[in-house]
Structure 1
């Protein structure tokens, strides 16, 4: 039977597109180059069959809050999002670790004189949180209904996304706590996109939290795939697609690929002008990752650090501004920003016989081929003396190696495109419908389209809605809610 729609790539956006199209009653087929689905959601046993490691993404504040996953209802599908006592932490030399708790009051008490400033920053966003999330994750379509959320977010972005950021707090703990979140933009700091990311993820820490799926990120991919197959969808694994001509005829083709992948797959079919614009799409710095298997909990100098499942190892605000800017310029630093996740802090079942996984990546220059093991190990040792002695096994992935694992991560850019101001507003090129390509029925649905990186499913969902309108005349978004047969 000829499919109505074909999707290339089964990362979170490809799967979200598949769910949306299948729920609209279409016959959907998905093609995946690897032997397992998931893209950035894959979870595997690397060293011990009883201990799983998240290969790319591990912590999911956006999955807990995005419009797509809110309607999809992960909990009703058996995906339990679990929380550590603190959402994230930021160790500082010679000072206690500063922690962001889901309880805003508790967080503010830990910030001393900057507590009222933190409350004034985050409180109004929490009051309009649903509208803030919708504004950021739905792009221009959300502007008409954003209401008070837009000016509340805009004024704060301006205050924390420019040189003024260094003067917004009186003391280092609050400055470092917010800047560590801004560093998730993986690019120069301070910038307006960095401030937007800090405020989006920062306020979510006090609402939906920064949870992990019990058992690993792969549980999210499994739930999405189960819904697709339950509605007649089919998967073709181990089937790399190098040319559009390899796909079966379909009225819609959605590509969960980077712009470079679209150029490769479409070839000379693309108009020269559009192709040239895609080729100008910029990629950001790389991520270089080490998966550790350790014999005991991390020996943090400040034991309170263990309350957080996510820990930002970046030093002071000034250090992070310098490190991230140099890295974006292609300059390797000896002490890069490192994001560390201790899954067992939120999900004790991830530990077995005392051993536990630790997930950590460093921001490095684009395309770096340097092994990050010593770089990251030393960074952790700075705040957890003796960490090296707990390491049982490790696996390194260079920035260049990340691209080999997933071609969407060009040069190790796990955000599938530099989060500059222009590319935040127009991804991958400036078009009224950024998902639609000049080729009839062909759409781009990767994180290189709005709203950008993160496990939120919105790139795939919005691209699928565009395809439903234009190719099938379906203007009403399908229900994503679980059906009785799927909830068990």
Structure 2
């Protein structure tokens, strides 16, 4: 290909497309080269079980898709994107048949918590009130924050472990479990520093935006991004596995939506030995074992609150959730793991044949684990929804190997592009002033292996694009 581009993006996941859109917005000529037949990374929708049942293969609920400072300002509704807002952002059922619901209304949420009502408001309300000041700093690289006082106050709550925050603020075990439900999205042991930050950010975003999902499937969100990118003049080439940067057209800059493991395999990069060693030392996090079901009816949750939520966190005691999330890093899986469940069809009938339903779930597992956890997951759902197994028409299961085959960025089943602990949250993939830049002045990393890490928010790609603009096209900033 003899064309000349200003920038080429390798990999078309949510961060690759975000980087490409940002550069194209500034008038640059860009192209994306994607190894898969269809763009989207892990944000795809397929019929995994039976004809007519649409399942999100990777991302299913997008709490940060609408909260993203970049994505939310794009005119994606012009390309058919519709957000679905369930009445309850997420719910957490308990063994006694009751549940707590996270409503968009923080007062309604806190009112369920009894003696912990005021503590919940004291913990979350300041973050909610200052979200617009904190959002861009939280979803970006480590640096001087635009609002240092508010950021410092957030940091005092975010730096501790989820267990420390839960035990400090809450008296009731149910409230602690409720907080653990969102904090455990970190895929970290809940006694690990900074694990609280995930619970705080995700809970606050639920009160600010709800936890919406795209009507018809997560793939529709990505289709809208692709259409918008093409409307700006961008080009996408699929089925293009890049092994050598010298095989790509000439460009001033190349942005790789790849994790370090894949990037190190690319030939022709001018990386010194020290940088290569640092990339080789990059740590990947836990994997996931993921399931989809075609159902004859909605999941029969005992609690009505769970039936009104698109996302349900399963874990039936504080100790059970703590041991589950610690065990995956010790390679000691429990029979009662923390389970993330998503149900779309009670709120979006377009995803299944009339009267039928779908469900989606995963658990955290050791990186690279190939054990079949089907029975364990279904047993956990059955505890909150007796009769669930009787509704199953067909199931699909993907272990860590299958997930990595589906999307090579999911190394060992790690959906966050690398471990997101205190050593790698802001300094991923290596500790340097700009984590997006590399020793090769043409080459940038824009994947979830850069700040702010995993999630469908596009901010890794946006910040990498900003760095490339500053280095090569500063007159456009």
Band the TM-score falls in, shorter-chain normalisation: over 0.9
1:93: which partner in 2?
A: 95
Partner SS, residue 305 of structure 1? helix
Asked if structure 1 preserves the Cα contact closer than 8 Å seen for 2:161 and 2:190, the reply is no
After TM superposition, the structure 1 stretch with the greater mean CA deviation from structure 2, 146-155 or 437-446, is: 146-155
CA distance in 2 between counterparts of 1:47 and 1:95 reads 30
1:159 Cα deviation after fit: 5.6
After TM superposition, the structure 1 stretch with the greater mean CA deviation from structure 2, 10-19 or 259-268, is: 259-268
CA distance in 2 between counterparts of 1:412 and 1:111 reads 35
Instruction: Choose which of 30, 35, 40 in structure 1 pairs with 2:42.
Output: 40
Asked if structure 2 preserves the Cα contact closer than 8 Å seen for 1:336 and 1:364, the reply is no
**How many residue pairs are counted as aligned between the two chains?**
475
Cα deviation 1:45-85 (Å, max 9, x = unaligned): 22344331111001111111111112224345432211111
CA distance in 2 between counterparts of 1:474 and 1:32 reads 29
After TM superposition, the structure 1 stretch with the greater mean CA deviation from structure 2, 189-198 or 456-465, is: 189-198
TM-score, reference length from structure 2: 0.96
1:211 Cα deviation after fit: 0.4
Partner SS, residue 136 of structure 2? helix
Asked if structure 1 preserves the Cα contact closer than 8 Å seen for 2:340 and 2:361, the reply is yes
Partner SS, residue 181 of structure 2? helix
1:201: which partner in 2?
A: 202
Asked if structure 2 preserves the Cα contact closer than 8 Å seen for 1:263 and 1:275, the reply is yes
CA distance in 2 between counterparts of 1:402 and 1:221 reads 19
1:357: which partner in 2?
A: 358
Asked if structure 2 preserves the Cα contact closer than 8 Å seen for 1:133 and 1:200, the reply is no
2:409: which partner in 1?
A: 408
Q: Which has the higher helix share?
A: 1
CA distance in 2 between counterparts of 1:33 and 1:408 reads 11
1:150: which partner in 2?
A: 151
1:334: which partner in 2?
A: 335
Instruction: Choose which of 52, 55, 58 in structure 1 pairs with 2:54.
Output: 52
Cα gap change, 1:202/1:164 in structure 2, threshold over 3 Å: closer, same or farther? closer
Cα deviation 1:419-457 (Å, max 9, x = unaligned): 110101200001111111111311000000011111111
Cα gap change, 1:137/1:92 in structure 2, threshold over 3 Å: closer, same or farther? same
1:140: which partner in 2?
A: 142
Instruction: Choose which of 104, 114, 117 in structure 1 pairs with 2:119.
Output: 117
Asked if structure 1 preserves the Cα contact closer than 8 Å seen for 2:289 and 2:399, the reply is yes
1:95 Cα deviation after fit: 4.4
1:31 Cα deviation after fit: 1.0
1:176-191 equivalences under 5 Å are 176-191=177-192
Partner SS, residue 58 of structure 1? coil
Partner SS, residue 38 of structure 2? coil
Asked if structure 1 preserves the Cα contact closer than 8 Å seen for 2:49 and 2:292, the reply is no
Asked if structure 2 preserves the Cα contact closer than 8 Å seen for 1:263 and 1:270, the reply is no
Asked if structure 1 preserves the Cα contact closer than 8 Å seen for 2:255 and 2:444, the reply is yes
Asked if structure 1 preserves the Cα contact closer than 8 Å seen for 2:49 and 2:396, the reply is no
Partner SS, residue 171 of structure 2? coil
1:348-427 equivalences under 5 Å are 348-427=349-428
Asked if structure 2 preserves the Cα contact closer than 8 Å seen for 1:165 and 1:190, the reply is no
Asked if structure 1 preserves the Cα contact closer than 8 Å seen for 2:34 and 2:241, the reply is yes
Partner SS, residue 423 of structure 1? coil
Asked if structure 2 preserves the Cα contact closer than 8 Å seen for 1:344 and 1:351, the reply is yes
1:154 Cα deviation after fit: 1.8
Cα gap change, 1:191/1:75 in structure 2, threshold over 3 Å: closer, same or farther? farther
Asked if structure 2 preserves the Cα contact closer than 8 Å seen for 1:83 and 1:347, the reply is no
Cα deviation 1:227-273 (Å, max 9, x = unaligned): 22112211111111122222122111110000111101146742110
1:304 Cα deviation after fit: 2.7
CA distance in 1 between counterparts of 2:470 and 2:152 reads 31
Q: Does 1:11 align with 2:19?
A: no
1:34 Cα deviation after fit: 1.0
Partner SS, residue 300 of structure 1? coil
RMSD between aligned residues = 1.6
Partner SS, residue 297 of structure 2? coil
1:268-279 equivalences under 5 Å are 269-279=270-280
After TM superposition, the structure 1 stretch with the greater mean CA deviation from structure 2, 338-347 or 144-153, is: 144-153
CA distance in 2 between counterparts of 1:305 and 1:218 reads 25
Structure 1 unaligned regions, length at least 5: 477-488
Partner SS, residue 179 of structure 2? helix
CA distance in 1 between counterparts of 2:467 and 2:294 reads 44
CA distance in 2 between counterparts of 1:66 and 1:159 reads 24
CA distance in 2 between counterparts of 1:36 and 1:312 reads 31
2:297: which partner in 1?
A: 296
